[in-house]
Structures are given as structure tokens and as C-alpha cells.
Amino acid sequence: MAIREESAVLAVPAETGAFRSTGVPGRKRSFALRVLAILGFLLLWHLAVQANVTWPLQLGNLPKPGDVLAAWAKSLGQSAYYADVGVSCRRVLIGIALGLVTAVPLGLWSGLSRTAADTLFTNLELFRPIPLIAYLPVAMLLFRSIESSILFITYIGAFFPILISSRDAAKRVPPSLVQAARILGCGPFRALWRVYLPAMAPEIFTGLSVGIGASWMGVITAEMMSGQLGIGYSTWSAYHLMDYKQSMIGMFTIGALGFGSSALVRVIQHRVLRWM
């Protein structure tokens, strides 16, 4: 009986490992499933519009996916499309960079210092639940230019996820690592680079992935409300002009950019954290 139970237990990891296979056949199967999932979504969309479905959602009001894809292919040949994409990407990149250089040190400080947690972090927690769109009137009052206010909202979107992940990561650094570094002659400031930041890196990347998504939501919201350039502005303008195909093109472009940004973060994470 004991031998059978042991054999059953040993069989589980082998089956799990086969399920998680990362070889060429596994990657091909995963790619094929993703393509089929997208094609299935487009087919359901087409059938819903063709049948003029009006309940529970008015799906019949949407343009057909073939028309949207044809218009998107036409937009890919226009320089204005790439100009809007470039403007939005630049804003998100600046917001993410500012979020990293400010949220990581503040998260580290509030995670290690009780005084900082009771003072600085308490004040920041009051602002964290506020929706990004609610920051727009304040941003317009604080900054002289529209561009600065858009960058501020983009920055806020990245700041809080990175701050929370950095704070929690700093609190979870094993004290044994810090003690071992001190025994080996590592001073407090050197320990930040040699011990804390490497130990915090996985959770910082997690916060960065969440922050990128929030930054895209922030920049699109700001561009829709007060922008003159960018994917958000062009999407909102197309809606007001009742050009619903262009509006949906903008929506899917935002989704593709967000997906690509998150994928890029995962690639960088695998490169930087090779020991994970």
C-alpha cells in the first residue's frame, strides 16, 4: 500500500511537468490555441452583428469585425496613426520612468521605517483610492500646460502599484540576509543595493506590470478629456464624429499597446532575474 501511494505521489509532478512543457510542440500548441481563440471571438462578434442581437446588449449597433479590420489596415498606412501611437507611448514611458524612480525609494523607506509608514505612507494611502479621472481638475490647476497634466495623471497611475509592491517587498526581505551582509562588512547603504533591491526585484516587476496597465488607463483618460494628440484623443474624437469603426480601432490599439508593454516587462524581468 505504501509503495502504491508513493508511486501515485511521484506521478503527479511528471504529469504537471508535461502540462507545463515549454518545448517547441508546447509553444506551437499554445500559439494555435491563442489564434483560434481570437478567430472564435471575431466569429461570435460577426454573428451577433449579423443577427442584429439587441438583448441583453445592443450588439447589432456595432460595426462588423471585417469592416473594422479593413479600416484598421487602411489606418496602418497613415502617418497620423503612428503619430498618435508615438505620443501616447512617450507619455506612458515618461510616467513609468518617473514612477519607478520615486515609488521604489519611497516604498523601501516606508517598508523599513515605522516613522515613514505612519507619516508618509498614511498620507499617500489617502490618495491611492482616488480614480485617475478625479485627478484631472487638480492636475489642470497644478500645471501650466496640458501636456504636463497628462504626464502627471500617467505618473500617478504607475506610482501607486509600484509603491505598494515595493513597500511589501521591503518588509518581506529575510532578516537573515541582512544580518549575513552585515557580518561580511556590508554597510547600510551598500545593503540597499546588494541585499534589499535584489530581494525586492520580483515584486517590483509585478508592481511595474500593474503600473503599466494603470498608466495606459491614465493617459487615455487624460487624452480623452483634455488632450489634443494621442490614441485617447483620436478615439474620443472618432466617437463624437460617429465614426465608430475608428473608435473601435483606437480601443483595440490601446489594448494591443498595453499587451505589448506588459510582454516587454516580462521579457526584461526574465533577463534581469535569471535566477528566478
Q: Tell me the pLDDT tens digit for each residue of 177-234.
A: 889 988 888 888 888 888 999 999 999 999 999 999 999 999 999 999 887 899 999 9
Element containing residue 224 per DSSP (H, E) = helix 197-226
222 versus 18: which is more confidently predicted?
222
Which run of H or of E encompasses 95? helix 79-112
Nearest to 254 by CA among 84, 65, 78: 84
pLDDT average, residue stretch 126-148: 93
- Domain 65-272 CATH (choose: 1.10.3720.10, 2.30.42.10, 1.10.3980.10, 1.10.10.350): 1.10.3720.10
- In the chain, domain spans: 2-61, 65-272
Size (the chain), residues: 276
Alpha carbon of residue 164 to chain centroid: 15
Average of per-residue pLDDT values in the chain: 89
CB under 8 Å to 149, separation ≥6 — which residues? 136, 139, 140, 142, 143, 222, 226
* pTM metric for this prediction: 0.85
Provide the Cα torsion 146, 214, 81, 229; round to 10°.
-10
